[in-house]
Chains A and B, each alone.
Chain A
Amino acid sequence: MVAEIPSVTADSAYRMSLWSRLMTDRNFLGFWFMLPAAAVLILFLAWPLVLGIWLSMTDTTIGRPGVFIGLENFDWLSDDPVFWLAVFNTFLYTTVASIVKFLLGLWLALLLNKHLPFKALLRAIVLLPWIVPTVLSAIAFWWIYDAQFSIISWVLLKFGWITANVNFLGDPDNARASVIAANVWRGIPFVAITLLAGLQTISPSLHEAATIDGASGWQRFRYVTMPLLTPIIAVVMTFSVLFTFTDFQLIYVLTRGGPLNATHLMATLSFQRAIPGGQLGEGAAIAVAMIPFLLAAILFSYFGLQRRKWQQGGRD
Chain B
Amino acid sequence: MTDATPQRATEPGVARDGPARRGRGGDEGEGMDYLVSLPRRVVTVYLPLLVFLFVLLFPFYWMVITTFKSNEELYDFKDFSPFWVVHPTLHNLHKLFFETHYPIWLWNTMVVSVVATFLSLFCAVCAGYAIERLRFKGSRLVGMAIFLAYLVPPSILFIPLSTMVFSYGLFDSKFALILTYPTFLIPFCTWLLMGYFRSIPYELEECALIDGATRLQILVKIILPLAVPGLISAGIFAFTLSWNEFIYALTFISSTTNKTVPVGVVTELVEGDVYHWGSLMAGALMGSLPVAVLYSFFVEYYVSSMTGAVKE
Contacts and interface: CB of A to CB of B under 8 A. Distances in A.
Nearest to B135: A26
Given A154-B82, A274-B159, A280-B159, A312 B1 contact: yes
A242 B107 CA distance: 31
Interface in A188-209: 188-190, 193-194, 196-198, 200-201, 203-204, 207-208
A64 to B, nearest CB: 11
A23 interface: yes
A52 B161 CA distance: 8
B157 A26 contact: no
A55 B15 CA distance: 53
A60 interface: yes
A107 B212 CA distance: 54
Contacts of B34: 115
A125 interface: yes
Interface string A36-54: 1110110011111101100
B199 interface: no
B278 to A, nearest CB: 10
A242 B160 CA distance: 20
B59 A141 contact: yes
Contacts of B306: 127, 190, 193-194
B279 to A, nearest CB: 11
Contacts of A100: none
Contacts of B55: 185
A116 interface: yes
B265 A136 contact: yes
B48 to A, nearest CB: 6
A119 B13 contact: yes
Contact of B158 (A29, A122, A271): A271
A128 interface: yes
11 contacts: A5-B217, A31-B136, A34-B136, A37-B123, A120-B13, A122-B53, A128-B57, A132-B291, A196-B13, A197-B311, A316-B2
Interface of A: 1-2, 4-6, 8, 23, 26-27, 29-31, 33-38, 40-41, 44-49, 51-52, 55, 60, 104, 107-108, 111-112, 114-116, 118-120, 122-129, 131-137, 139-141, 143-144, 146, 149, 151, 154, 185, 188-190, 193-194, 196-198, 200-201, 203-204, 207-208, 211, 232, 235-236, 239, 242-243, 246-249, 252-253, 267, 270-271, 274-275, 280, 283-284, 287-288, 290-291, 294, 297-298, 301, 308, 312, 315-316
Minimum-distance CB pairs A-B, first 8: A30-B136, A33-B130, A37-B127, A246-B153, A197-B307, A267-B155, A51-B160, A135-B262
